[in-house]
A and B are shown apart, each in its own frame.
Chain A
Amino acid sequence: MTAATAPVAPAGDADLRRVLSAVDKGRRRRDRLMTGLVVGAFVVAMLPLVSVTWTVLAHGIERFDAYFLTHSMRGVFGGMDAGGIYHAIVGTVEITLFATLISVPIGLLTAIYLVEYGRGALARSVTFFVDVMTGIPSIVAGLFAYALFAVILGPGVRMGIVGSVALSVLMIPVVVRSCEEMLRLVPNELREAALALGVPRWLTIVKVVLRTAVAGIGTGVMIAIARVIGETAPLLVTVGVIDSINFNLFEGRMMTLPVYVYRQYQQGLVPCAPDAVDCVATINYDRAWAAALTLILIVMLLNLVARLITRFFAPKNLG
């Protein structure tokens, strides 16, 4: 703060400027150092992003083809140069869709409650606990779903729907948060205009408020799906692993993409006989990378769709 002890008689404009802008060296050096550190922090953060993206692409692209996407792991063993992720894609899509089916109505209605009706202690505690719920560890959500179904159906249950319940525990708070934000953006004048015309409250909400916010809600749901589709631990605990295709959510184990990645990684290197022709030592890792690439592509696609929804469906005159 000792910078500008102004001179008594300024000699001229240039001189004055020089005196005023002269900061003592130490302070300027420190400022530059901090600028360097701050920019450096950003660069450091970009390193893992670039590294992850690059390695997944470089390792995964090799096996990422139509065969890989359309075959399961049934009858594949050892270092066989075969096997794919069709069964895992089926499982991931079904389980995630069902989780969405559970979470979106509950999440959306909760958001409507918070924005349109919520007052008093209940609304405050719902807001608070939705925030707390975002922090539930995913494996605890898995254990909860397992415990829930174990109480109902007896222990040792492994089926797709248990995984869906686990995922929806993780998904509901995300849906509530984003929908709430979008509903709050709807200008109050619209609600008042509809109510003044004698439209009942619920029709006002459905036809005016939701209609206005539909783009934002779509984006929010997409982002919520993108968040849970990569969850591994809860599915590992509730759905288990399997090598063949299972379309039935309500019976038997299912494979999912993230669990597939983990499973392949866990199986590790294959000991190949030195003269074996049809044996790839790193086959499990190769499959894991290719499945990881598929997973990342799906997540990026969902994020992209979310952005496109905002761009093309957003009402132009939204307050």
Chain B
Amino acid sequence: MTSTTSPPTAGRRSDGPPSRPAPALRRSGRVRDRGASRVFRWAATGAGALILVVLAAVAVFLVLRAWPALTTPAAELTEKITWLRGADSLAAFVGPLVFGTVLAAALALLIATPIALGIALFISHYAPRRLASGLGYLVDLLAAIPSVVYGLWGALVLAPLVQPVWAWLNRYLGWIPLFGGDVSPTARVILTVGLVLAVMLLPIITAVSREVFLQTPRLHEEAALALGATRWEMIRTAVLPFARSGIISAAMLGLGRALGETMAVLMILSPGFLYSFKLLVAGQQQTIAANIAAQFPEANPLGVSALIATGLALFVITLLVNMAARAIVARRKDFSGAN
């Protein structure tokens, strides 16, 4: 940034007083900061380091508070915490929660990814240039709506709306295990949750993949068109291969968000603690985040500790997913040649 190349001839002349220390300092090649500048630099560096400290502190304090639950023998734990529901250890209790969390997130991702890719393609390659940014802004508005409002909407508006659809699925496709069982009359089931989560994921996945689509080298696109490709063939042969890793990381970022989403699940799902793939039956699954929010206000100290332990599990899972996604993005940046 500040390549201070000192003028080459100035220091060589011997007409100045030889005892002056300035030329020696100049020759070292870099401006050394003193006083306020140094303080400022240390403050800025300190703030940067603080970010790392905060992230470490999150892990440390969670472990610290989860420790009592992790070390208490299982028998005592189930005796003191009423909602452990006969699980014979903390791991046996966390298991179904992790399963429910992953199932809800996977459903959301399955619904959201194709639609988000469609939107991103629409904005980057189909919509008229002048409208594109405005339409992009509309999609971003979806991200501006707070999750509690999505929960309210999902529970009071969407659930009654989709109930007949779920009943229909159950009647005609009930032979598929996913749709089997007694369909819930209130539609407070994991498939509804997945639908609402999918809406919340749309803006994230769209934003990332749109960026990647726009980075496709123009020459590749034009070459494909010049060879006689239709628009879709151009996208399939030039845009999608270029964007593949970007799409993967966009989906993983969405996954990270879906795993940690609390309110929509808490307000819509009727919870249960089973390893169950029945998407249309109430009282089967529960997610980690929603379970924490539901139990936390009334939990005793050991119960709080157990909940924090499940939170720790959630933290580790999302951290891994996010780090993988970011690593893919970062590697891609190095190779893409854009920027």
Residues of chain A having any CB pair with chain B under 8 Å: 1, 3-4, 23, 27-28, 30-31, 34-35, 37-42, 44-46, 48-49, 51-52, 55-56, 105-107, 109-110, 112-114, 116-118, 122-123, 125-126, 128-141, 143-144, 146-148, 150-151, 155-156, 169, 172-173, 176, 188, 191-192, 195, 200-203, 205, 226, 229-233, 236-237, 240-241, 258, 261-262, 265-266, 285, 288-289, 292, 295-296, 299-300, 303
Contacts and interface: CB of A to CB of B under 8 A. Distances in A.
20 contacts: A46-B138, A52-B150, A55-B157, A132-B322, A132-B326, A137-B259, A140-B58, A143-B311, A144-B61, A155-B304, A169-B58, A195-B4, A205-B40, A233-B266, A258-B146, A258-B263, A261-B149, A262-B266, A289-B152, A292-B149
Nearest to B46: A109
Contacts of A285: 156
B115 A44 contact: yes
Contacts of A191: 1-2
B75 interface: no
B293 interface: yes
A262 B151 CA distance: 9
Given A52-B145, A258-B148, A143 B308 contact: yes
A292 B296 CA distance: 23
A30 B229 CA distance: 12
Q: Which of A27, A229, A237 has the most CB of B within 10 A?
A: A237
B126 A4 contact: no
Contacts, number: 284
B221 to A, nearest CB: 15
Given A117-B45, A136-B315, A56 B149 contact: yes
Contacts of B155: 265
B122 A132 contact: no
B43 interface: yes
Contacts of A134: 322
B167 interface: no
List the 5 closest A-B pairs by CB distance, nearest first.
A137-B260, A230-B146, A41-B118, A109-B47, A135-B322
B65 interface: yes
B120 to A, nearest CB: 9
